[in-house]
């Protein structure tokens, strides 16, 4: 049994807490490693060491910090297969999906290679008589990232790359369910030239999270996870005077208009709804066809596509569409919500409950489920399922469909499939959701834009990656300067000009 470690001052360090959490192989149900649940004292010691290391790193010029990101990006590329294997082994994703996880994180690292241009301040020449004004962006000090299980590489990279490029030291607390990728990334950062202590990986549970939120030397916290925890972390961080960007749950809708290409829409829904076993905050979990003919045609096209989905372990190679969910508890919760949908009157078109795979009977596999005639009062509509379940809510008109999205408490992502530009433009302008796709099912912005939801999907003013990340991880200092000097008149200095 592998006993994992923390990463402190550039080396693996065993926790002395004596407490551990199981790391499962989701495909077999077997425990493959133990994650340490560090003590509050260990967290505070890691913060103190990070604070010491940050001084020199913060005084390193941005171009040299960017060179570390360049070397880091090259190492991620070199070790892509190894990192994807780590992700797949602990999370259960297929290898292509795991590589996508790493790749989307790498893209943020690539943007951070241009950190010097993003850290430039502003300058006003001669704002008053002999007066110049300029601003500079400076690091916050020690910051923290608390990351979820569903993207073991991508979201830690979304946090650490901008934070470190801005000159901060970071405490990273990865999910205790998938810790190995974060530890390996820390090793690669050291190889890339990051000084010891600038990144500390501290594994733990709620006690470590609370210690991060209460430690006065931690200036900012970034979190991704469920909405209740996001709201809790945001509130406690703000109460302790910290910056916080906390991203929570989602209930993403895709509207399908009568003029949409239904084959393309069905293909998009299958990929967006069932990919990664539905364990992603940008998954489309609600299809909203407008009009009976559209709904009937969509369901007709979805059924054979969903029935053909192949579920299996990542070791099966590219011949698998998605793998198991993260834990037995997750499997039970998903199937329980499917039960509730049936009991509350939705039409279960395809039933994924009770799925078993020969040779992997103890794995956490859930078959794909497809519902029709779901209504907004049902639990399967109101709750984030985070599993391979697609619900179809029929709408009579475009306005009905739009209001369904507007009235939903979550606002992470949404999409519309239509051939009409005016409808698409109206949707993009009126919908109160942070990320919008037009004939595009999962509208995750490219890394030089920014990622973030609205409503109960996000707490805090600034989003992840892109320009917002550099604003979040720095503070602005503005200088107003005037230099007194004599003014020559006829070869003599006029010292009155200095008054």
List residues with catalytic annotation: 281
Q: Which of 271, 286, 292 is nearest to 341 (CA)?
A: 286
User: Which tokens belong to 419?
Assistant: 């051939």
Residue 395 makes CB contacts below 8 A (sequence gap 6+) with 255, 288, 289, 290, 291, 401, 404
Report the C-alpha gap between 398 and 45 in whole angstroms. 56
Report the C-alpha gap between 338 and 352 in whole angstroms. 9
Write out the E strands in 85-141: 123-128, 131-139
Size of the chain, expressed as the number of residues it contains: 499
Report the C-alpha gap between 256 and 81 in whole angstroms. 37
**DSSP H/E element including 82:** helix 80-91
Residue 351 makes CB contacts below 8 A (sequence gap 6+) with 338, 367, 369
Q: Which of 345, 390, 343 is nearest to 368 (CA)?
A: 390
DSSP secondary structure code for residue 27 in this structure: T
Report the C-alpha gap between 87 and 101 in whole angstroms. 8
Question: In whole angstroms, what separates CA 52 from the centre of its chain?
Answer: 28
Query: What is the residue-wise DSSP string for 326-345?
Result: S-HHHHHHHHHHHHHHHHTT
Report the C-alpha gap between 60 and 57 in whole angstroms. 5
Report the C-alpha gap between 431 and 404 in whole angstroms. 10
Q: How many CB atoms lie within 10 A of CB 481?
A: 10
């Amino acid at each position: 049994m592998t006993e994992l470690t923390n990463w402190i001052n550039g080396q693996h360090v065993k926790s002395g807490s004596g407490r551990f959490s199981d790391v499962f192989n989701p495909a077999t149900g077997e425990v493959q490693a133990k994650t340490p649940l560090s003590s509050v004292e260990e967290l505070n010691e890691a913060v103190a060491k990070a604070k010491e290391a940050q001084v020199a790193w913060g005084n390193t010029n941005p171009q040299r910090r960017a060179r570390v990101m360049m070397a880091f990006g090259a190492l991620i590329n070199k070790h892509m297969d190894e990192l994807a294997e780590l992700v797949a082994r602990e999370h259960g994703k297929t290898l292509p999906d795991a590589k996508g996880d790493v790749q989307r994180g790498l893209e943020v690292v690539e943007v951070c290679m241009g950190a010097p241009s993003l850290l430039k301040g502003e300058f006003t020449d001669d704002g008053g008589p002999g007066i110049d004004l300029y601003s500079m962006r400076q690091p916050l000090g020690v910051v923290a990232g608390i990351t979820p299980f569903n993207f073991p590489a991508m979201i830690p990279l979304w946090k650490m790359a901008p934070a470190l490029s801005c000159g901060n030291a970071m405490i990273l607390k990865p999910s205790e369910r998938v810790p190995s990728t974060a530890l390996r990334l820390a090793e690669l950062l050291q190889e890339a030239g990051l000084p010891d202590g600038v990144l500390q990986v501290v594994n733990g549970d709620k006690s470590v999270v609370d210690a991060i939120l209460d430690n006065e030397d931690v200036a900012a916290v970034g979190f991704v996870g469920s909405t209740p925890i996001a709201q809790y972390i945001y509130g406690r961080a703000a109460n302790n005077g910290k910056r916080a960007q906390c991203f929570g749950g989602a209930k993403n809708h895709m509207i399908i208009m009568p003029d949409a290409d239904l084959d393309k829409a069905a293909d998009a829904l299958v990929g967006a709804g069932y990919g990664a076993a539905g364990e992603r905050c940008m998954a489309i979990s609600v299809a909203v066809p407008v009009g009976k003919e559209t709904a009937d045609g969509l369901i007709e096209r979805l059924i054979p596509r969903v029935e053909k989905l192949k579920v299996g372990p990542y070791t099966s190679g590219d011949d698998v569409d998605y793998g198991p969910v993260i834990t037995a508890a997750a499997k039970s919760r998903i199937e329980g919500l499917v039960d509730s949908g049936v009991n509350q009157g939705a039409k279960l078109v395809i039933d994924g409950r009770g799925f078993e795979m020969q040779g992997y009977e103890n794995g956490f596999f859930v078959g794909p489920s497809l519902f029709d005639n779901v209504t907004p009062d049902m639990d399967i509509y109101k709750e984030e399922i985070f599993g391979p379940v697609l619900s179809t809510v029929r709408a009579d008109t475009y306005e009905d469909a739009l209001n369904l999205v507007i009235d939903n408490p979550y606002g992470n992502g949404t999409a519309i499939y239509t051939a009409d530009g005016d409808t698409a433009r109206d949707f993009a302008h009126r919908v109160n959701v942070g990320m919008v796709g037009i004939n595009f099912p999962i509208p995750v912005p490219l890394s030089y834009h920014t990622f973030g939801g609205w409503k109960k999907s996000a707490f805090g003013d600034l989003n992840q990656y892109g320009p917002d990340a550099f604003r979040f991880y720095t503070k602005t200092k503005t200088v107003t300067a005037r230099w007194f000097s004599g003014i020559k008149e006829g070869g003599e200095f006029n010292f009155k000009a200095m008054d």
